[in-house]
Structure 1
Amino acid sequence: MNPGSGPSIAAYVLRFQSLFHEGRALAFPCDAQGHVDMDALSDRARGNYLYARAVVGREFATPAVLPSH
């Protein structure tokens, strides 16, 4: 993203809510369209992100793009 072209990637998070545990969720920094820069994630976060994507509908709900707090 070019400077001045819009909000920074950290302005949003892609949140995967657990289907079975109300308080459990995984969230990753993303842009307004929900694109996660996997190269910017730690190894652990990258693994969690790939896992969450793989189990959407079985363990996590379809992710939502939310403003970062």
Structure 2
Amino acid sequence: MNSSVESSSNNPSCGPSQVPYLLRFESLFHSGRGLSFPCDARGQVALDQLSEQARDNYLFARAVVGHEYATPVVQRCYG
């Protein structure tokens, strides 16, 4: 996966060729909405594997934790 996933679901699903974990930034203002990024089990995101747009979204979400987004959580994908 090379982009962020804007989602309105609390249970992310991933296809078989995608990573088994997502780092999820939940919106503080829009219940159930947020941004998710492929990561490992520890929540490490491979920035060099993200598209430019996804990288920008990730860096933005990380910068506004506590203002726009909640502290991110690692979620296992369901496929």
Q: Same fold (TM over 0.5)?
A: yes
TM-score, L = length of structure 1: 0.84
Among 31, 51, 56, the alignment partner of 1:42 is 51
Q: In structure 1, what is the equivalent of residue 64 of structure 2? A: 55
CA apart distance, 1:23: 2.8
TM-score, L = length of structure 2: 0.74
What runs of 5+ residues in structure 1 fail to find an aligned partner?
1-8
The superposition leaves residues 12-31 of structure 1 with CA deviations (integer Å, 9 ceiling, x where unpaired) of: 00000000001320000000
Pick the structure with more helix per residue. 1
Stretches (4+) displaced over 4 A: none
Among 22, 26, 35, the alignment partner of 1:26 is 35
Q: Point out the structure with max Rg over C-alpha.
A: 1
> Quick one: percent identity of the two aligned structures?
61
CA RMSD of aligned residues (A): 1.2
What runs of 5+ residues in structure 2 fail to find an aligned partner?
1-17
